[in-house]
Amino acid sequence: MPLTQIKEGRTVRLVSIESGYGLKNRLASMGVRPQTEFTVINNHHPGPFMITVKGCKMMLGRGVADKLMVLQLNSENQ
């Protein structure tokens, strides 16, 4: 499912990036690639996203978050 549907505090694994190579490349260079796991810290609906990837905080525009297909991981909180 797209990252935009993930609630704050959940950890996800990136499955694919449904976009052109510009964005894929840029995300890859910043360490966000398929199989990368990260946590959603802030989902400013309908604003930008804040995530933590390996201890590093990043902001994603909503347009970007829409293109990230993820798998929700942490069920231990539930």
Partner 1 sequence: MKKINVALAGNPNSGKSTIFNMLTGGRQKVGNYPGVTVEIKEGKARRDDYEINFIDLPGTYSLTAYTLEERVARDFIINKHPDVVVDIIDASNVERSLYLATQLMEMQVPLVLVFNMSDIAQRRGLLFDLEQLSKLLEVPIVSTTGNKGLGKQQLFEAIKKIVEEPPQHIRQANFGTEIEQYIEQLKPKIEQKYPELTAKCPSRWLAAKMLEQDEEILKKITDPQINQQAQTAIQKIKGLLGEMPEMIMADHRYGFISGACQETVKTTAELRHEFSDTIDAVVTNRYLGLPIFIGLMYLVFELVFRLGEYPMDWLEGFFGFLGAGVENLWPEGSMPWLKSLVSEGIIGGVGEVIVFLPNILLLFLAIAMLEGTGYMARAAFVMDKLMHKIGLHGKSFIPMLIGFGCSIPAIMGTRILEDRRNRLTTIMVIPLMSCFAKFTVYALLIPAFFPVQWRGTMFWVIYLIGILLGILSARILRSTVLKGEDIPFVMELPPYRMPTAKAMLMQMWTRAWLYIKKAGTIILAISILLWVGMNFPRPDIEHTSSPQLTQQQIKQLELEHSVVGRIGGAMEPAIKPLGFDRNIGIAMIGALAAKEVFVSQMAIVYAVEEDAKEMSLREQLRRDYSPLVGFAIMLFCLISAPCIATIAVTKHETNSWRWAGLQFFALTAMAYVITLLFYQIGSLFI
Can you tell me the distance from the alpha carbon of 14 to that of 32, in angstroms, rounded to the nearest whole number? Answer: 8
- As measured in angstroms, the least distance from the Cβ of 60 to partner 1 is 6
Q: Which of 7, 46, 77, 78 is in the footprint of partner 1 by CB under 8 A? A: 46
Quickly list H helices, the chain: 21-29, 62-67
Any contact of residue 6 with partner 1 (CB under 8 A)? Answer: no
Quickly tell me which residue has 């510009």 as its tokens: 22
Q: Which of 2, 9, 18, 33 is in the footprint of partner 1 by CB under 8 A? A: 33
Site residues (CB under 8 A) for partner 1? 19, 21-33, 41-42, 44, 46-48, 50, 54-64
